[in-house]
Each structure stands twice: as structure tokens, then as C-alpha cells.
């Protein structure tokens, strides 16, 4: 506790001190009427004590940073070439159990919440040791350190961390902190995107079925295999023609608020949706 208290005192002094009183703040740029107003004159800035909350925040972030040594997996700790080698090694040795997209299969996911829970806040060495000594589970420690390092690079890249100028080596693992992965931005929605929408089911011309007042299509999150539950998913202003809705007993759902997942097909003047999931969210379609 002592060092932090010192730091706070330090910062408090500096904020109240000459740096904030000095010519920089008196110079012509700060002379204009806008900076003469009571807000800048008032006790808020003049009184060193009221600057302390700011100082505390600053001191805490400085202390945390210093304590954790600073370096993290966000600092470019592998190269693109290394991650590319890792990708093919991963494909051959890991994807069968952890899935090509790291989403998990018979082995747990190596990204998202699971990754964060198991590895975030720990040293990168922990992740490396786990892989190099216990994986692949059907042939532990069979890959050697270099291949394991390449695979770590691939896993980090897939978790959204940037490549840098230097390859990851075994002696560079210490003191690099793992952070929770950064979800990749969803791919842009285009023709033949797999999407989900919510809308009102109404009969269209010639035995067709339409989803009206539909929400903007979004790419379903891989985690959600079922509708975003609750009837609170809001409607929108779009209309989709549903393909093969009869096969889903559309008639039984006429006028209801429906959740639809499927492929988006964009035609001039019409958007269509194939159906791979079709679920009632509310028996009426009032907003």
C-alpha cells in the first residue's frame, strides 16, 4: 500500500503544483474568454485537493501497469509467417478436437469466454506449457517446442491479437500476459450470408409467405444455436420473402412474431430468405 500512497501524494502535488499553474496555462492560447469562464477559474482546478480523484485514477493505472510488467499478447509477440505455419500445424494436429475455427468440439474452445477464463491474466508460458506438454491429447508432447510456438502464434492471431516484427520464442514467453481474446468483427452481410432476423409472418401473393416489419439481418453468433430468447428482439422495417415456408407450416404462424435463420438471397427489388430455423417468438406481432 505504501508506494501507491506515495504516488497519489506525488500526483496530487503535481496537479496542484507549478506545472498546472505555470505559463503554459497562462499563455495566449488559453487566454481567450472561453478559458476565462468560471469553470476554469473555480476552485475545481485551483484547489489541489479536488484533483486527488484524478490523481488516484492515474496512480492506480500506473501502479497496475508497472506491477504487471506491461507486456501483453497485444504487443505483437509473434509474426504473421509464424502464425501461418501454426495454422497448418493446428489444422493437422488440433482442429480435429478443437475445431478449425477454435470453437471447440471434443476439446474445449480455444477462444472466447473459455479462453479468457482459462488463460487471461496468466503468463503466456502457462498456455505454451499446456500445449507443449499435454497436447495433442492423443499424442502429448509429440510436436516439439517450435511447432507448439507456431501453434500458439496461430491461436493468438485467431483470438484477435496482432502480429509483430519478431517471432515468438521459448525464452520470450515469460512475462507476456495473456488477455481475453478480441472478438473479430462480424463479416459484412452480403448475398448468401447466413443471417437471422425477426419479423411478422404474413401471407404474400401466390401462396408465398413474407416476413414483414423485419429487423435488419445480422450474422448469428456461433454461441447462440437457438433464438435470442424473449419476445423483446425488436422489429424493423424490412420485408423478406421466405423460401419454402410451407414446409415449416407457415399457416399455423400467420400473424405471429417469428425468428428466422437462413441464407439471405438478394435479388433486384426483393430479398429472400431460405429457412433453416423458424421459431415463434410471440403469438401476435404488436411491437
Using CB under 6 A, list all residues that contact ligand HEC.
Answer: 93-94, 96-98, 106-108, 110, 114, 118, 130-131, 134-138, 143, 151
CB of 93 to ligand HEC, least distance (A): 4
Residue number with CB closer to ligand HEC (108 or 164)? 108
Euclidean distance between the first and final Cα of the chain, in Å? 54
Shortest approach of ligand HEC to residue 136 CB, angstroms? 4
Q: Which residues contact residue 68 at a Cβ distance below 8 angstroms, ignoring those fewer than 6 apart?
A: 177
User: Nearest CA to 178 among 222, 221, 131, 214?
Assistant: 131
- Minimum Å gap between C-beta 187 and ligand HEC is 25
Cell of 39: 469553470
Task: Tell me the three cell numbers of residue 188.
Answer: 459484412
* Smaller CB separation from ligand HEC, 97 or 219: 97
Give 61 or 142: the residue with its C-beta nearer to ligand HEC: 142
Q: How far is the CB of 174 from ligand HEC (least distance, A)?
A: 18
Would residue 175 be called left, alpha or beta, if left means φ above 0 and alpha means ψ between -120 and 50 degrees?
left
Output 96 or 220, the one with its CB closest to ligand HEC. Answer: 96
Q: Region of 164 please: left (phi>0), alpha (psi -120 to 50) or beta.
A: beta
Specify whether the CB–CB gap between 131 and 170 falls below 8 A.
Answer: no
Q: Give 110 or 245: the residue with its C-beta nearer to ligand HEC.
A: 110
CB of 73 to ligand HEC, least distance (A): 14
**Which is closer to ligand HEC, CB of 66 or CB of 141?**
141
Output the smallest distance, CB 83 to ligand HEC, in A.
13
Alpha-carbon span 126 to 132, nearest angstrom? 10
Q: Which is nearer to ligand HEC, 147 or 260 (CB)?
A: 147
Q: Each residue of 102-131: b (16+ CB within 10 Å) or e?
A: bebeebebbbbeebeeebeeebbbebbeeb
Q: Which of 211, 284, 209 is nearest to 250 (CA)?
A: 209
Shortest distance, position 78 Cβ to ligand HEC, whole Å:
14
Cell output for 71: 507486456
Q: Which is nearer to ligand HEC, 112 or 167 (CB)?
A: 112
- Least separation in angstroms between residue 143's CB and ligand HEC is 6
Q: Give the whole-angstrom CA distance, residue 54 versus residue 50.
A: 8
Among positive and negative, which fits the CA dihedral 173, 177, 180, 183? negative
Amino acid at each position: 500500500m505504501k508506494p501507491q500512497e506515495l504516488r497519489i501524494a506525488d500526483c496530487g502535488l503535481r496537479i496542484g503544483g507549478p506545472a498546472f499553474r505555470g505559463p503554459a496555462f497562462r499563455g495566449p492560447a488559453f487566454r481567450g474568454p472561453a478559458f476565462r469562464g468560471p469553470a476554469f477559474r473555480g476552485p475545481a482546478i485551483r484547489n489541489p485537493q479536488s484533483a486527488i480523484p484524478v490523481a488516484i485514477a492515474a496512480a492506480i493505472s500506473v501502479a497496475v501497469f508497472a506491477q504487471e510488467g506491461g507486456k501483453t499478447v497485444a504487443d505483437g509477440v509473434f509474426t504473421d509467417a509464424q502464425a501461418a505455419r501454426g495454422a497448418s500445424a493446428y489444422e493437422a494436429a488440433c482442429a480435429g478436437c478443437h475445431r478449425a475455427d477454435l470453437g471447440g468440439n471434443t476439446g474445449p474452445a480455444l477462444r472466447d469466454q473459455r479462453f479468457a477464463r482459462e488463460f487471461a491474466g496468466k503468463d503466456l508460458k502457462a498456455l505454451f506449457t499446456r500445449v507443449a506438454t499435454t497436447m495433442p491429447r492423443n499424442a502429448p508432447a509429440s510436436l516439439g517446442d517450435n511447432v507448439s510456438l507456431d501453434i500458439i502464434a496461430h491461436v493468438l492471431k485467431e483470438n484477435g491479437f496482432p502480429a509483430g516484427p519478431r517471432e515468438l520464442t521459448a525464452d520470450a514467453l515469460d512475462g507476456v500476459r495473456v488477455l481475453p481474446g478480441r472478438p473479430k468483427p462480424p463479416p459484412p452481410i452480403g448475398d448468401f450470408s447466413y443471417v437471422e432476423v425477426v419479423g411478422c409472418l404474413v401471407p404474400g401473393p401466390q401462396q408465398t409467405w413474407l416476413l414483414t416489419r423485419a429487423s435488419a439481418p445480422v450474422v448469428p453468433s456461433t454461441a447462440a444455436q437457438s433464438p435470442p430468447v424473449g419476445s423483446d428482439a425488436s422489429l424493423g422495417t424490412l420485408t423478406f420473402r421466405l423460401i419454402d415456408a410451407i414446409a415449416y407450416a407457415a399457416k399455423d404462424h400467420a400473424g405471429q412474431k417469428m425468428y428466422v435463420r437462413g441464407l439471405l438471397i438478394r435479388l433486384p427489388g426483393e430479398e429472400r430468405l431460405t429457412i433453416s430455423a423458424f421459431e415463434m417468438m410471440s403469438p401476435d406481432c404488436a411491437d
